[in-house]
Structure 1
Amino acid sequence: MASPSITPLLPPMCSKPSLASKVGILPLSTPSTSSHVQGWNPSSLHSIHFHSLPIPPFPNPAPDHNSTIKFPSHLLPAYEAFVNIRGPLSSLLQTLSSTSTRLVIVHDPLSSFAGKEAESFPNAESYTYQCIASLYRLTFPQVSESTANLLRAHDLVLPTQDGCITEEVLDFVNRQLPFKNKTESGIIINSCKNLEGEFLELRRQELDYIGKKIFAIGPINPVMIQGGGHRHECLDWLDKQPDGSVLYLSFGSTMTLSEDQVEQLAIGIFQSRQRFIWVLRSADRGNIFAEEAKEAGYKLPAGFDKEVEGRGIVIRDWALQLDILAHKSTGLFMSHCGWNSCLESLSMGVPIAAWPMHSDQPVNSLLVTKYLKVGVMVREWDRREEIVAAKDIEEAINKVLVYEEGKEIKQRAKDLGEAVRGEVMDGGSSRAELDLFIDHITR
């Protein structure tokens, strides 16, 4: 008998598959997913076949470093082009359906057309993979009374959604709603009880979720890093630093800062006198392989490299974030608070200096700093259009790495990391729900 075929659909710029699978679908313009899977044993990829689907050419604009709204709107042409894979996807699913006992399609909300296509095959079922925090999902597009009551109980005040996303991108999102599959079999959530137990329970009570199976199996990222393979030189430098002493800074692959903000950040790092690893690179374009995607990058203040020599490293290319966060010398992560980055940091027990830029990040930063109390704010969301001064950056760094209050924050982060890692081990809630999912789709 043919075996079940699990098909995760990955939109442009997605760096790793959401589940162990038989078939991973990629647009032709994206890099190989297998080359970006980090932290897992390479042998685990042997059972995965990646199938590229063609998308038409699309404009490849540069990011606007000075935009007041930091959402990477320059990627919108790539998003628009991505929805054109629906035809080739249907053909592939037809082939897979004919050779499989059951065809299981896992897709993110903006790829809901994949779930719609699944309705055409009697042996197919689809699952939405939600790679956002449950707290954010409960607050977007509006807050229910039960959610508002829980927030009040914890004295949490939600940041405004103003400035989180551009009107053009919001229009694109709304145009995907008709594809939402009302007959989807369930939802896979990248979160866990020790991070968001109360919010997960509220989600199970939502009308959209009643009657559907929900599997909270996060964090998806590895929580134990496999050794071997190429080792970035920054890890050799980390080996020589005291435990918990290094600041790691990275704002993701699609985030951009103004030159003025980079200058203030450099000054703040220098004045803090702390050890650091700073990933400083331009935001990726929609097609990273195009010639125009190769940009010179940011300029640092004159003499910066010499002044911090031996105390810090500036990385101008892609970095092994999980390896850095898992290292015992890393003591603080200054982050835009994308949910994946939050999960990676918290699962490794590293506190976060939160600097939200767009989308769900203001809510994520609230969860990290006010609810879990494992981080500090670099800049409050209501000051999002201001340049963050060097002294404020220095203060945020020292709150965790120098001041007395930082000891409590670091201990809470360490304890939370142990609890989160336990979730995916035998006996943990995430492991149990993953087992339930596998049992369900192989029934």
Structure 2
Amino acid sequence: MTVVDHHHSHQSHDDQEPTKQSPPSVVVVVVVPFPLQSHLSQLLQLSHIISSHNIQVHYVGYALHISQVKSRASHALNDAKRIQFHDFPTPHFLSPLPTNTTFPSHLIPSFEASLNLRQPVMSLLTSLSKTAMRVVIIHDVLMSYVVQDSDSLPNTEAYIFHCVSAVSNFAFMRDAAGRHHDRPEIPSYEGCLVPEFEVFSNYQAQFLFKSGNKCGHLYNTCRLIDSEFLDSFLEEMRKIMGGNMKQWAIGPLETVTIFKNRSPNKVKGQGQNKCLEWLDKAREELCVVHLFWEHNFHGR
């Protein structure tokens, strides 16, 4: 077992934070992703979409994870002129070797280290709130602890991002509530998660409903696939968080990862991935949508 030591920052944060002399902005968006590649890349893609509407986006995280998501980005970063990366110094955390389980349990220490982002993220939000009329926070559901203090700033509004579909959230909540008889045809999460991650996610849930500035949920899905479960989940959330809670299906978001060593000859029909070869040969009436950790099949 080794210890990761990346106690540095790629940029000076004093230069990144706005000053009193900065011209006021109507709205800025602060994106707070969970430090796992599939989560990081989805929110980076969403940041590109938002910034394309001439809105300033602040994408935050540890220097290690910011460097990783930038190196794997499918978009040219020089086109992201309105995305400002805030790479906070990476703390020390254990980095054990990967296990034989399908769940990346060796990354649990880095997940737990993300809790230390609470103070630097709040400092950034406080600074931005002084110069912007509205500060919109889009945070991964697994970063609820980090943004818990944001409701102390009157001009902030927070939106909870789910990188999985509504049916996946339904299964997770059903299992957590012990309602296994409810829609038994939908597979259970049992055995998919390690106990340490269940503890971490349950801890995040404590802060999901405490902040008074929560305005809605964003799902990486579409109503064509998930309409039934989106409506069901909204009903449940309104019981917990109030009748004004809203939600949006904003996906599927592109989650392409660039592999720089990939041969340029591996294009369609020339040694491409076997899953893509199968998809090319599939019937046209079969629609396949892949969402993180799950497959949904929907025939027309």
Aligned to 1:30: 65
Partner Cα distance (1:178, 1:230) in 2:
38
Q: What is the one-letter code of the residue matched to 1:128?
A: I
**Contact 1:106–1:127 (CA under 8 A) maintained in structure 2:** yes
Indicate which of 227, 240, 248 corresponds to 1:197. Answer: 227
How many residue pairs are counted as aligned between the two chains? 252
Partner Cα distance (1:230, 1:176) in 2:
32
**Contact 2:174–2:180 (CA under 8 A) maintained in structure 1:** no
Q: What is the one-letter code of the residue matched to 1:72?
A: P
Indicate which of 74, 83, 87 corresponds to 2:106. Answer: 74
**Contact 1:115–1:180 (CA under 8 A) maintained in structure 2:** no
Spell out, residue by residue over 1:61-94, the C-alpha distance to the aligned partner (whole angstroms, 9 max, x if none). 11013x4xx2111111101111011111111111
**Contact 1:53–1:88 (CA under 8 A) maintained in structure 2:** yes
Q: What is the one-letter code of the residue matched to 1:238?
A: V
Deviation, 1:236, is 2.2
Q: What is the one-letter code of the residue matched to 1:163?
A: G
1:172 aligns with 2:200: yes
Partner Cα distance (1:233, 1:41) in 2:
17
SS, match of residue 202 in structure 2: helix
Query: Which consecutive unaligned segments of at least 5 residues does structure 1 have?
Result: 224-228, 250-324, 334-348, 374-411, 413-443
User: If each structure's strand is expressed as a fraction of its own residues, which one has the higher value?
Assistant: 2
Partner Cα distance (1:115, 1:87) in 2:
9
SS, match of residue 5 in structure 1: strand
Aligned to 2:244: 211
| Residue 230 to residue 92, structure 1, CA distance change in 2 (3 Å) | same
Q: What does 1:37-436 correspond to in 2, within 5 Å?
A: 37-38=73-74, 40=75, 42=77, 44-65=79-100, 67=101, 70-142=102-174, 151=183, 157-182=185-210, 183=212, 184-206=214-236, 207-208=239-240, 210-221=243-254, 233-239=262-268, 241=270, 247-248=273-274, 330-332=277-279, 351=288, 361=293, 364-365=294-295, 367-368=296-297, 372=298
Spell out, residue by residue over 1:192-244, the C-alpha distance to the aligned partner (whole angstroms, 9 max, x if none). 11221222222222224632121111112189xxxxx9986544232454xxx
Partner Cα distance (2:229, 2:278) in 1:
28
Partner Cα distance (1:180, 1:233) in 2:
40
Q: What is the one-letter code of the residue matched to 2:139?
A: H
**Contact 1:105–1:114 (CA under 8 A) maintained in structure 2:** no
SS, match of residue 113 in structure 1: coil
Deviation, 1:11, is 2.3
Q: What is the one-letter code of the residue matched to 1:62?
A: L
Q: Rg larger in 1 or in 2? A: 1
Aligned to 1:11: 34
SS, match of residue 152 in structure 2: coil
Query: Which consecutive unaligned segments of at least 5 residues does structure 2 have?
Result: 1-23, 52-56, 281-285
Spell out, residue by residue over 1:42-77, the C-alpha distance to the aligned partner (whole angstroms, 9 max, x if none). 554111100112242001111013x4xx21111111
Aligned to 1:283: none
Superposition CA RMSD, Å:
3.4
Partner Cα distance (2:174, 2:269) in 1:
48
Partner Cα distance (1:222, 1:200) in 2:
21
Spell out, residue by residue over 1:337-384, the C-alpha distance to the aligned partner (whole angstroms, 9 max, x if none). xxxxxxxxxxxx8858x9x9xxx84xx34x33xxx25xxxxxxxxxxx
**Contact 1:116–1:181 (CA under 8 A) maintained in structure 2:** no
Deviation, 1:148, is 6.5
| Residue 147 to residue 5, structure 1, CA distance change in 2 (3 Å) | farther
| Residue 180 to residue 221, structure 1, CA distance change in 2 (3 Å) | same
**Contact 2:117–2:146 (CA under 8 A) maintained in structure 1:** no
User: Kindly, what percent of the aligned residue pairs are identical?
Assistant: 27
**Contact 1:332–1:350 (CA under 8 A) maintained in structure 2:** no
Partner Cα distance (2:288, 2:226) in 1:
17
Deviation, 1:331, is 3.1
| Residue 138 to residue 239, structure 1, CA distance change in 2 (3 Å) | closer
| Residue 217 to residue 56, structure 1, CA distance change in 2 (3 Å) | same
Q: What is the one-letter code of the residue matched to 1:10?
A: P
TM-score by length of 2: 0.72
Partner Cα distance (2:77, 2:93) in 1:
33
SS, match of residue 30 in structure 1: helix
Partner Cα distance (1:47, 1:142) in 2:
40
